[in-house]
Chains A and B, each alone.
Chain A
């Protein structure tokens, strides 16, 4: 469609925003991609390896960077969005530095915030040195040095699933969906990096609902000897030798269980981003019970909002992996093109 004209503002330069901006530009639309950080890539930048195939996160990042090399794309990095209005069919977007951008359509790709694990105080994140999050561990994988605070290599490592997910106590009833497979991936990588170590995953349910996830889970058991214990860790403490001690119920044995550990990794869940919530309030956009943006229809309107001409893509609507985020960005582009061609007129 080389004769397409129109302008779209994409808010958020993570995976969804970059992919969508690239596809919109290719369709002939002029795109302004606004990212609040100095760098594009969002959370993808934090991942050393992705699941299920343990592909380097950088590979996907360079694909996305390639996507947005296009004359139709104007980049505004280090720039936030203050608010927007709709006048007639036009959107007026106010940036934080005082700029005004006019557009025919808006795509919000504001993504997610990682659950702040210190909110689950009983796990001791920020209190005990050797309690870290899945994101901290990715950073360790990046640096190539997996160690405890004292510089020694951990020999016994625990992983807690569902930290900040499926937990009424922190107000998150939903499943973050990625943490189970992240736990399995990281357990395998720990085992590879520290051959001698033992890894224990404490789970409530193993939710391996993605392509090749179950296979990875089985590999973790068979090839890497990871132990999976059904029961959520209820509290973490330290003993006299300053080693972590966890308490859980082994629900399949029907008895409480305690164990000493060198390192505990918390699988932090996903939450609606603070940035997204601000825009929801400013623009009267509907949010769901889970606080993510509410799609206009669960089955065929997952990219549409309650405001005509404003669309969503990626993890601002629900927890998603990279594959799903890219697909969701592409389907948003298809909705936007339809809107420009017919609905808008």
Chain B
């Protein structure tokens, strides 16, 4: 068959109701300080990885809360768990543990080692 190069474009919209919120619920339960995040970006600004790659913990926090798990799965691999971010968080979030628990959640819920 002739291929014309037309494809369906996936909508960029965050479809909150369709997204899966089990990962973020798991994190909130095990690391409740995550709830206090106000997405200020201190963690990302101080992050060594973020200064050399596109990694942003602030972005990951937002995506987790919206249930955009597919995006997080790939991105979160870049974190080296150094914990510098937790030193600067003004809301006292144990950011290092958020990443750690998120990785556990991905393993538990979709058997996806990150």
User: Which one of A101-109, A121-129, A219-227 is at the B interface?
Assistant: A219-227
**Residues of A contacting B16 with CB < 8 Å?**
257-259
Known: A258-B15, A258-B16. A218 touches B36 (CB 8 A): yes
**Residues of B contacting A253 with CB < 8 Å?**
14, 59, 62-63, 66, 68
The tally of CB-CB contacts under 8 A between chains A and B is 46
Please state if B35 and A225 are interface contacts (CB–CB under 8 Å): yes
The listed residue with most A CB atoms (<10 A of its CB), out of B32, B35, B37, B65, is B35
Please state if B14 and A222 are interface contacts (CB–CB under 8 Å): no
Other-chain residue from A228, A256, A260 in contact with B13 (beta carbon distance below 8 A) = A256
Known: A218-B36, A222-B36, A225-B28. A255 touches B58 (CB 8 A): no
Binary contact readout B38-50 vs A (1 if CB under 8 angstroms, 0 otherwise): 1100000000000
Please state if A256 and B66 are interface contacts (CB–CB under 8 Å): no
Please state if A258 and B62 are interface contacts (CB–CB under 8 Å): no
Please state if A222 and B32 are interface contacts (CB–CB under 8 Å): yes
Known: A206-B38, A225-B35, A252-B58. A259 touches B17 (CB 8 A): yes
CB distance from B23 to the nearest CB of A (A): 15
The docked-state distance in angstroms from the alpha carbon of A107 to that of B59 is 52
Residues 99 to 135 of chain A near chain B (Cβ within 8 Å) = none
A→B interface (CB under 8 Å): 206, 218, 221-222, 225, 227-228, 230, 250, 252-253, 255-260
B→A interface (CB under 8 Å): 12-17, 28, 32-33, 35-39, 58-59, 62-63, 65-66, 68, 91
Which are the 6 A-B pairs with shortest beta-carbon distances?
Answer: A257-B14, A259-B16, A256-B13, A252-B62, A253-B62, A221-B35
